[in-house]
């Protein structure tokens, strides 16, 4: 039933600044997202507490973690390290090796909070709908390198974001809202994806 379906709406964020959250060419993404939430509720989905408008939505998202950082932000969703490690262990060996070689240990990721022993994620859930900010494809590197690089593998925090949606939240549909995100630019093929193509591994 619609009331039991779990949906995630993911807003793009690049360049990776708070001023570029939810940008979309020719689309008011924040206001459009509120309209989608209202439509979901009207269709019987459990959308929880709806923001009054696009500005309220953006304020809410920026109060939590973003690609600009976690410091002083309200942590709403934490993925325990043990849950991430179980998810990571199920990925193809080739993918695991590439991520570890490029980004090292998961606890070095900017989204990882030692005091919480987990990843503080840029997500907020209300009812059966989660709204999030797509993580950056990398950190401590030239930001332009993270946008469309065909060989830059995503860091642990990126995978943790989608791990929480899949394994913890139990999402059944993911909508990338507004300007295209970066999932389709991850390493791998564009068509007929295999298990070692990163969009397939992530989703």
With contact defined as beta carbons under 8 Å apart, do 57 and 30 qualify?
yes
C-alpha 149 chain-centroid distance: 18
pLDDT given for residue 190 in this prediction: 81
pLDDT given for residue 15 in this prediction: 66
pLDDT given for residue 158 in this prediction: 96
Q: How far is CA 132 from CA 96, 115, 162, 181, in A?
A: 24, 22, 10, 12
Q: How far apart are CA 104 and CA 190, in angstroms?
A: 27
In this prediction, residue 68 has a pLDDT band, given cuts at 50, 70 and 90, of confident
pLDDT at 108 over 90: yes
19-64: per-residue pLDDT in tens?
667 777 778 999 999 999 999 999 999 999 999 999 999 999 999 9
118-175: per-residue pLDDT in tens?
999 999 999 999 999 999 888 888 777 677 788 899 999 999 999 999 999 999 999 9
Biggest CA pair distance of the chain: 47
The pair of three-digit structure tokens given for residue 113, joined into one six-digit string: 């909070």
pTM for this entry: 0.94
Q: From the CB of residue 196, how many other CB atoms can be counted at a distance below 10 Å?
A: 16
Of 23-27, 188-192, 197-201, where does the model show the most confidence?
197-201
pLDDT given for residue 178 in this prediction: 84
């Amino acid at each position: 039933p619609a009331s039991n379906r779990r949906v995630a709406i993911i807003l793009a964020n690049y360049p990776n600044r708070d001023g570029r959250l939810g940008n979309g060419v020719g689309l008011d993404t924040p206001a459009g997202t509120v309209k989608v939430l209202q439509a979901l509720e009207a269709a019987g989905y459990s959308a929880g507490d709806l923001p009054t408008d696009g500005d309220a939505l953006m304020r809410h998202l920026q109060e939590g973690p973003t690609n600009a950082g976690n410091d002083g932000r309200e942590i709403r969703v934490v993925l325990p390290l043990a849950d991430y490690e179980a998810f990571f262990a199920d990925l193809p060996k080739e993918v695991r090796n590439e991520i570890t070689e490029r980004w090292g240990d998961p606890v070095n990721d900017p989204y990882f909070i030692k005091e919480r022993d987990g990843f503080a994620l840029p997500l907020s859930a209300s009812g059966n709908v989660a709204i999030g900010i797509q993580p950056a494809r990398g950190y401590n590197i030239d930001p332009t390198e993270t946008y469309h690089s065909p060989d830059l593998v995503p860091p642990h925090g990126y995978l943790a974001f989608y791990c929480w949606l899949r394994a913890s939240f139990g999402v059944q549909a993911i909508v990338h809202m507004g300007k295209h995100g970066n999932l389709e630019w991850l390493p791998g093929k564009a068509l007929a994806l295999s298990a070692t193509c990163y969009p397939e591994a992530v989703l």
